[in-house]
Amino acid sequence: MKNRNFFWFILPSLITMLLFIALPIVSVVVQSLHIEHEAVLNEVENCGPFGCKKELIINVEETKKLKLESPLGQFNGLKTYTNRNHLAFEEIQQSWSQSDSISGFISNTLNLPFYRALAFTLTYTFVVTPFVLFFGFLIALGVNSLPKTMKGPTIFVSLLPMIVTPLIGSLILFWMIDAQGIIGSILQRIFDDPNLSLKASPTLTWVMLMVYGIWHSSPFAFIVFYAGLQTVPSDTIEAAMIDGASRWERTKYVVLPHLMPLTIFILLIQLMDNFRVFEPIVGFSAQANATSLSWIIYNDISNNEDQFFGSAGATSVLTIIGVSILLIPVLIRTWREFNRKVV
C-alpha cells in the first residue's frame, strides 16, 4: 500500500487517538502543574438557627476576577509532585535524617499517602499476577481434560467472576465475608475464633483483596490459555509420546513453550490492570487499611464539594510513569522477538 493511501486510511483512527488519548493526557499534565489561585477571604458574621458567629467567607467577585485572568490557576511547577501528598521529598529527607533505623525510615515513609498507596498497589500487582497466570493455566488444563458435554457449561461458569462488574463482584463478596455473613461465620467456625474478622486488620484486608483479585482475574487467563491449548500441534505431542515423555514432561517441553506468547500477553494485560486496582477497595470499604494509586486519584476528585484537580493530575502522571516502568521488561522482550521474526 502506498504511503499516501496508508496515511489517509489511518487518519480517522489517528484523529480519534489524538482527541481521546493524547490531548487528555496533555491536559492532565498541564493541570498537574497548576494550583488554585490564592483565596481572597473576608471575615463576616454568619447567622442561622443556632445563633450568630464571625466566620470567613470567600470574596466571590475578587475570585472571579482572578479566574478570568488566568483560568488554569497559579503555575506551581513541579511543586505539586514533590509535596506531602505525592513524592514528599521534604518529608522523606527529614525522616531519613531523623530516623535511627531502616525499619523506622520505612514505616515513616509508609505513613505518607502516596507511598502507602504505592506499597499496596505494587504488592497487589506482584502477588495477584503470578497467581492468576498459575491458576488460569491449571484450570485451562483441567477443563481441557473434561468430557465434551461438560466443557460448555464449565467454561460459562468459570467466566462468571470476570463477566460480572468488579464493583458488584466485590460488594457481593464484602457481604459474604462480613463477620455475620456466610463466609465470615464459617471461617470463624473453622479457625475456632469468634472474634475473627477479615475486615478488621490491615493484613487480613490485604489478603482478602488479593484473593478477590485472583478470583476475579483468573477466568481471563483461563480463557486465553484454553484457547491456546486448542492450538497445540498434535504431531509434536504424539512425537513426544512416542519418545516416551511422561504427561508432566509433555506439558513442560511442548505445551508451555507453545503458550509462551500468550503468557506474555496475559502478563502484560494483568500488570496493567492490577496496577490500576480500584473497585475492590471501594466495594470492600477497605480504604482504612488499603489504598491504591487509582483510589487516591478518585479520592481527590470524588468529593464534589472539594476537588483537587492538580493533585489528581500529578498522581495520574505518576501512575502512567509507574505503568511504563513496570512494562519495560515485557516490552523489551516483545521488541526482541519482533525483530528476530523479521530476520
Partner 1 sequence: MTNIIHRRSRLLNLFIWGLVFIWIIAASFPFFWTLWGSFKVQGDFFSKADWTNAISGVRTQIETGGAFTGNGYYGAWVTKNFWLAAINTGIIVSSVVVISLTFGNSWWICISTFR
Partner 2 sequence: MFLKTITFAGAFALLGSSAIADCGISGGKVSILSNDFPAIQAVTAEAAKCAGNGVTVETNLTKDHKDIMVAALTANPSQYSSVIVSNSTLVTLMNDGLVRSLDDLVAKHGAGLNKSQLITVNGKVMAVAFMANAQHLFTRTDMLNKAGISDIPGTYEEVIAAAEAIRSAGLMEYPVALNTKAGWNLGEEFVNMYMGTGADLFNAGTAEVSINNDHGVATLNMLKSLVAYSNPDFLTFDSNATQAEWEAGNLALATMWGSRGGAVLDGEGSVDGVSSNTVLSGAPSWGNMARPASTLWWDGIGISTNVSDEDAEATFIALMNGISSDMVEANNDAAVWLVEGYKPSPASAGVSETASNGAAPYPMLPFMGTLHGALGGEISDFLQGTESAEQALADVEAAYTAAAKEKGFLK
Nearer to partner 2, 24 or 202 (CB): 202
Task: Tell me which of 35, 221, 267, 293 binds partner 2, using CB under 8 A.
Answer: 35
| 289 counts as binding partner 2 under rule CB under 8 A | yes
Nearer to partner 1, 213 or 313 (CB): 213
Identify residues 185-244 at the interface with partner 2 (CB under 8 A). 195, 197, 199-202
Nearer to partner 2, 146 or 182 (CB): 182
| 60 counts as binding partner 2 under rule CB under 8 A | yes
Nearer to partner 2, 53 or 333 (CB): 53
| 239 counts as binding partner 1 under rule CB under 8 A | no
Report how many residues bind partner 1 under the rule CB under 8 A: 34
- The interface partner of residue 35, options being partner 1, partner 2, none and the CB cut-off 5 to 8 Å by kind, is partner 2
| 176 counts as binding partner 1 under rule CB under 8 A | yes
Nearer to partner 2, 40 or 159 (CB): 40
Rounded to whole angstroms, the Cα distance separating 59 from 304 reads 20
Nearer to partner 1, 1 or 102 (CB): 1
List interacting residues with partner 2 (CB under 8 A): 35-39, 41-51, 53, 55-58, 60-61, 63-64, 73-74, 80, 83-85, 91, 111, 113, 178-179, 195, 197, 199-202, 284-289, 299, 303-306, 308, 310-311
List interacting residues with partner 1 (CB under 8 A): 1, 6, 9-10, 12-13, 16, 138-139, 141-143, 145-146, 154, 157-158, 160-161, 164, 169, 172-173, 175-176, 180-182, 184-185, 215, 219, 241, 247
